[in-house]
Structure 1
Amino acid sequence: MSTNANRDIAVAILPLVGGAGNVTSVEHCMTRLRLGLRDRSLVQDEALKALPDVLGVVEDDTYQIVIGPGKVARVTPEFEALVEEQRPAEAHAVSADELAAQGAEMRAARKAKNATPFKLFLRRIANIFVPLIPALIGCGIIAGLNGLLTNLGWLPSVVPALAAMASGFMSLIAVFVGINTAKEFGGTPVLGGAVAAIIVFPGVENISVFGEKLAPGQGGVLGALAAAALAAFLEKRIRRVVPEALDVLVTPTLVVLLTGLVTIFGLMFVAGEIATGIGHAANWLLDNGGAFAGLLLGGFFLPLVMMGLHQALIPIHTTLIEQQGFTVLLPILAMAGAGQVGAAVAVYLKLKNNASIRKTIRSALPAGFLGVGEPLIYGVSLPLGRPFITACAGGALGGGFVGMFSMMGDKVGSTAIGPSGWALFPLLQGNHSLGATIAIYAGGLLVGYLAGFLFTYFFGFSKEMLVELNADPKTAPAAPEKVVASGTATPAETQPALQHSGS
């Protein structure tokens, strides 16, 4: 897509979110444009959903517009530039104070309903790790390529270079987590990175805690997160009492000193035990729960994606990758996307006359095969209702298939996080041959596709839904007039196909 086309998308979206004066922040993840808004009531939801390039909207701590993978990274800079261009021109018309006053009551009600401490905590954790995903993906794919070349005995002179590229980021990931954590909790990012760097410093092996030598990297990303959060907490309180003239010298020194001591003589050991427990728990779950554990994990992942809470699992995946070289959970969770794809194909075949829904499915399926589920969730299955449930059922059976093999001793893992679906193949790794690992994962996808399709085809629609939805709105006959209370006749309103509740 050309730059002009990306700007056109931004131009279409901006007035529907209240204009530049209503936008306080602009960010993006893999599929969504995330906006901070002063006044939620100024957003025109239905008009946004009707835009051809918008696949759905999600209201969370930020207002999230689903645009799709790749495209969102190109639209976001255009949107940011547009906001900066228009903000001065709009400032005279609507002030920040006026917008804040208009939206104060609505924001308070929304926060009381949705901003529970648990949800806010999970969102903060996600905000720390989401910016790291591109590097995790790139290094993970290089690691997979390096493993393939090593097994084949090809290009031995290149293998060490690829190993350095793949391992460099992972060896220092604690530092990046520390930087993002300090930023998220209101501290100085570089101080968060400084205290997190203690964890990966080779010299900690000379320090004994509770009678045992520390190991470089002990505690991993969990220790780095805790250390940087503590540093941000101390920094804000130290600044309150240190004279301004001495702040630049005293505050960072005390932050690094105090947090460093707590990290070395407490956090590294505690976080290391927790990280080890996570690894043991994941392996125990699949070794003993097998197919049942896979059913639960694969079946409940789509609802997490729907709520935007799936990214809170990133620290667990990252910890498993640090410990074992791969995460055994991601390939099972990826089966949810397979169930979603199978369900979408069934919807496509059942609604033969609904050109609108079929067009949405055709545009969203490629992303679905690559493991990006939001376009199909928000564009097809969730608005229809029942197909979302049958898609979850398909993902459950796919997860059960992979979980069954895990209990039999054939573990399937991923060397990085981010991709799923077909995009996960280059990242696959297990405890047996690469061919066996790929075969099990591919088998799980096929089970998920087939189960999602069959469940949706036979149980995804009531008779009423089929009558209402299985028609092309452009060619359907005009609805009969209905009599209203006043006795006058008005045309019956046709419900939008994608707003059906499925109840």
Structure 2
Amino acid sequence: MATEDKNRATAAAILPLVGGAANVSSIAHCMTRLRLGLHDRSLVDDEALKAIPAVLGVVEDETYQIVLGPGTVARVTPEFERLVEEERAAAPVVHTSEELAAQGAAIRARQKARNATPFKLFLRRIANIFVPLIPALIGCGIIAGLNGLLVNLEWLPAVTPALAAMASGFMALIAVFVGFNTAKEFGGTPILGGAVAAIIVFPGVARVDAFGQQLSPGQGGVLGALGAAVLAVYVEKWCRRWVPEALDVLVTPTLTVLVSGLVTIFGLMYVAGEVSSAIGTFADWLLSNGGAGAGFVLGGFFLPLVMLGLHQALIPIHTTLIEQQGYTVLLPILAMAGAGQVGAAVAVYFRLPRNESIRRTVRSALPAGLLGVGEPLIYGVSLPLGRPFITACVGGAFGGGFVGLFNQLGDTVGSTAIGPSGWALFPLLDGNHGLGSTIAVYAGGLVAGYVAGFVATYFFGFSQDLLTEFDVSQEPAPSKIAAGGPADPAGTGPGSPAKEPAGV
């Protein structure tokens, strides 16, 4: 009960600071953030929101995003939704048509101005398909790791088969969930997308010959499911246009499953299977031959990819690798970007001994950063300062190079799920040389990222002008820090509401 009260108190503290229920147009959440659609952005009190203990930071994108961290956001969001409903029921708000038209025009203009390129919109859709699956991937991945440990230790032999079933059940049917979410995202009937995708994992496809070879259940995996569901959406929409209303309930679902199902069996499963195999082969080749160099590049460029929203393109690749190999070898390397960020933040702390405002931000955001929640450090510390963001990338590169080197030497490090990073990734680690070796390599990569990020930032992260501006002996005035300072008229300084690219 105390936890429920705490979550409700957090929601109650947030609501008036975003303009109340009347200002909220939509509510959603992802792994770490409460995402709000707002009618009027000017009604939000950013500084007061950041002062709430549970709030790790705020980010403005197409939606206004309040960073609460994993776990917390899933508990606070339902309480926030209930409070909004209660406030609206108690005091319904009546808008004039002119007000609604003006608000709608402003919202559309803001959305159009920010990251509305076709490629980024496509990546956002891909993320919307796979992000809802992450909690199940994490839960099943941890159970799989626990089961592997018990099997290796020969403990609880009567229990391990049950754990194996729990860990594997979701992955065996993940294509169905991908198909369901894909149809929902592309404007079709979700259950029809799931029905077509289910063909891919149905054992009976083993009796089908396509392209001169027998199909195997699961061939094509999530990529095949995604393609099958998109095709089903287009077939369904065509049927809705041409099939008479009196026959729609019978003809449309039948033709949707029949046409897209045949194309899936006699085309998509084979093609998607070849693509999936190529992805796995390329990832293995890259780390076996590129080693430290490949890890250095991947770890160093991941933070900029996140900033551009391009990291979402990796989600299907991670999922495909987990399907094929039981883990993704890319995630532990990419997670080193967070280690570089932590090292850079610690260096900032020591380089600005008289700026208590930034040092306080570092202290409050470091625990989240160590657990893989990097937004508070990125948007509150390194990115507004400029150079420390680059040196954080250097730290990530060295950490990635460390893990990549061991991959080249034959000690593979992978993650059984996507989502967490930092210390939170330890329970999800898996590899080919035992859990102890895998943990040691990953921990060594984190240390390399911490140290490299610290050293690069401490010695190369600050110009003399930057030190003069930010290493102040008194508490910085809001006009200097919260608004970005005189050299930062756009208002992107530490403590200001950062502008996050689409898809982060």
The 5-angstrom pairing of residues 314-329 of structure 1 reads 314-329=315-330
Partner of 1:496: 481
- The answer to whether the 8 Å contact 1:379/1:498 transfers is no
Aligned match of 2:357: 356
Cα separation, 1, equivalents of 2:316 and 2:432: 22
**Alignment gaps of 5+ in structure 1:** 477-491
Give the C-alpha shift of residue 13 in structure 1. Answer: 3.1
Q: Deviations over 1:253-278 (max 9, x none)?
A: 11111111111111111111111111
Contact 1:357–1:497, Cα closer than 8 Å, also in 2: no
CA distance in 1, matches of 2:310, 2:35: 14
Aligned to 1:155, what secondary structure does the other structure show?
coil
2:202 equivalent to 1:217: no
Q: What is the Cα-based RMSD across aligned positions, in Å?
A: 2.4
Deviation at 1:10, TM superposition (A): 2.7
Measure the CA separation in 2 of the matches of 1:19 and 1:132: 31
TM-score (norm 2): 0.90
Q: CA deviation digits over 1:374-403, x for unaligned, max 9?
A: 121122222222211111110011001111
CA distance in 2, matches of 1:435, 1:102: 57
User: Partner of 1:279 in structure 2?
Assistant: 280
Structure 2: segments with no counterpart, 5+ residues: 495-504
Aligned to 2:193: 192
Alignment of 1:208 with 2:209, yes or no, is yes
Amino acid at match of 1:278: I
- Size of the aligned set, in residue pairs, is 487
**CA deviation map 1:264-314 (0-9, x unaligned):** 111111111111111112112212222121111111112233445434422
Describe the shift of the 1:56–1:94 C-alpha distance in structure 2 as closer, same or farther (beyond 3 A).
farther
Measure how far apart 1:498 and its partner are: 7.9
Deviation at 1:75, TM superposition (A): 1.6
| Partners of 1:142 and 1:162 within 8 A in 2 | yes
Cα contact 2:371–2:423 (8 A) shared by 1: yes
SS where residue 221 of structure 1 aligns? helix
- Cα distance in 1 between the residues matched to 2:101 and 2:77: 24
- How far is the alpha carbon of 1:107 from its aligned partner? 2.5
> How far off is 1:27 after superposition?
1.0
Contact 1:219 1:267 in 2 (8 A): yes
Match of 1:24, SS? strand
Q: Does the aligned pair in 1 maintain the 2:120–2:309 contact within 8 Å?
A: no
Is the 8 Å Cα contact of residues 22 and 93 (structure 2) preserved in structure 1? no
Quick one: structure 1 residues 29 and 308, their matched pair in 2 at CA, closer, same or farther if it must change by over 3 Å? farther
Indicate the larger mover: 53-62 or 110-119. Answer: 53-62
Residue matched to 1:481: none
Distance 1:287 1:97, change over 3 A: farther
Contact 1:180 1:189 in 2 (8 A): yes
CA gap of 1:469–1:303, structure 2 versus 1, over 3 A, is: same
Measure, in 1, the Cα distance between the counterparts of 2:376 and 2:318: 24
Q: Provide the residue aligned with 1:149 in structure 2.
A: 150
Amino acid at match of 1:210: F
Q: Does 1:168 align with 2:169?
A: yes
Residue 238 of structure 2 is matched in structure 1 by 237
SS in 1 for 2:353: coil
Q: CA deviation at 1:172?
A: 0.5
Q: 1:433 to 1:53 in 2, by over 3 A?
A: closer
Structure 1: distance between partners of 2:389 and 2:149: 38
Query: Where does residue 409 of structure 1 map in the other structure?
Result: 410
Partner of 2:392: 391
Q: How far 1:117 moved relative to its partner?
A: 0.5
Change (3 A) 1:209 1:462: same
Secondary structure in structure 2 of the residue aligned to 1:33? strand
1:55 to 1:450, Cα distance in 2 relative to 1, 3 A: same
Once structures 1 and 2 are overlaid, which stretch shifts more, 325-334 or 358-367? Answer: 358-367
Which of 247-256 and 171-180 deviates more?
247-256
Deviation at 1:96, TM superposition (A): 7.3
Could you give the per-residue CA deviations for residues 386-429 of structure 1, whole angstroms, max 9, x where no partner exists? 21111111001100111122222222111111121122222222
Go from structure 1 to structure 2 and tell me whether the alpha carbon gap of 1:279 and 1:351 turns closer, same or farther (over 3 Å shift): same
Distance apart, 1:20 and its partner CA: 2.5
Deviation at 1:167, TM superposition (A): 0.4
Q: 1-side partners of 2:330 and 2:444: how far apart?
A: 16
Q: What is the distance in 1 between the residues matched to 2:365 and 2:113?
A: 34
User: 1:345: Cα distance to partner?
Assistant: 1.3
Judge conservation of contact 1:279–1:320 (CA < 8 Å) in 2: yes
Residues 366, 377 of structure 2: 8 Å contact kept: yes
Q: Any idea what the Cα deviations from partners look like across 1:109-152, whole Å, max 9, x if unmatched?
A: 64155210100000110011111111101111111111111112
Q: Which amino acid aligns with 2:269?
A: M
Offset at 1:21?
Answer: 3.2
Asked if the contact 1:353–1:470 (Cα under 8 Å) also holds between the matched residues in 2, the reply is yes
- Secondary structure of 2:143's counterpart equals helix
How far apart are the structure 1 equivalents of 2:311 and 2:483? 24
Query: What's 2:260 paired with?
Result: 259
Matching residue of 1:444: 445
C-alpha separation in 1, matches of 2:231 and 2:47:
43
The answer to whether 1:331 aligns with 2:332 is: yes
| CA–CA separation in structure 2 for the residues paired with 1:323 and 1:92 | 53
* 2:250 aligned residue: 249
Of 318-327 and 57-66, more deviation after overlay is shown by: 57-66
**Structure 2 partner of 1:177:** 178
Q: How does 1:37-48 map to 2 (within 5 A)?
A: 37-40=38-41, 43=44, 45=46, 48=49
1:30-59 CA distance string (max 9 Å, x none)? 111112334556555555455554333333
Say if 1:154 and 1:3 are closer, same or farther in 2 by CA, change over 3 A.
closer
Letter in 2 for 1:495: K
CA deviation after TM superposition for structure 1 residue 82, in Å? 2.0
Q: For 2:374 and 2:151, locate their aligned partners in 1 and report how far apart those are by CA, in whole Å.
A: 34
Aligned counterparts of 2:13 and 2:473: Cα–Cα separation in 1 = 26
CA distance in 1, matches of 2:415, 2:93: 53
Are the equivalent residues in 2 in contact too, given 1:55–1:378 (CA < 8 A)?
no
- Who is 1:433 aligned against? 434
Whole-Å Cα distance in 2 between the matches of residues 279 and 57 of structure 1? 37
Give per-residue Cα distances to partners, 1:451-482, cap 9 Å, x unaligned: 011111112222232233233544x7xxxxxx
Per the alignment, residue 138 of structure 2 pairs with 137
The change in CA–CA distance for 1:226 and 1:340 in structure 2 (over 3 A counts) is: same
Does the CA-based 8 Å contact 2:38-2:64 persist in structure 1? Answer: yes
* C-alpha displacement of 1:495: 0.1
> Offset of 1:85 from its aligned partner?
2.2
> Amino acid of the residue matched to residue 196 of structure 2?
V
Question: CA 1:92–1:144 in 2, change beyond 3 Å: closer, same or farther?
Answer: closer
Q: Does 1:9 align with 2:38?
A: no
Supply the distance in 2 between the matched residues of 1:162 and 1:294 (Cα, whole angstroms): 33
Equivalent pair of 2:301/2:393 in contact (CA under 8 Å): yes
Tell me the SS of whatever aligns to 2:357.
Answer: helix
Does the 8 Å CA contact 2:395/2:449 hold for their aligned counterparts? yes
Amino acid aligned to 2:261:
G
Moved more, 37-46 or 356-365: 37-46
Task: Please give the secondary structure, in 1, of the residue aligned with 2:200.
Answer: helix
